[in-house]
Amino acid sequence: MTIKSEKHYTLESEVKILQANVKELQSQLGAAHKRIVELGNDQNEELIKTKQLLQELKFELNTVKQKEQSLVQELQDNIPDVLDSRQVLKEGD
């Protein structure tokens, strides 16, 4: 074998190794992209669930506030009118 052909075989093997490395890296990159999408979907689902919970809690809070306002109004309506006792005594004379 000549020096050129040995060098040629060495370069061919390096090229094949590099091509295999590129394929492996492309495969890893594809897997990483899939995982990123999965993680994004998980976060989106969690965000949607959190937003739904927030809406439910807001509705419940508003319901409780309305009930509170209603009870406060009822309490205020049941407070008897207060008369000035001095005024009653003057009229009674």
Query: pLDDT (tens digit, 9 = 90+) per residue, 42-92?
Result: 888 888 999 999 999 999 999 999 999 999 999 888 877 766 666 655 665
Q: How far apart are the first and last CA of the chain?
A: 141
pTM over 0.85: no
Residue 53, both tokens: 């919970």
Q: Is the pLDDT of residue 15 over 80?
A: yes
> Which pLDDT value is given to residue 6?
81
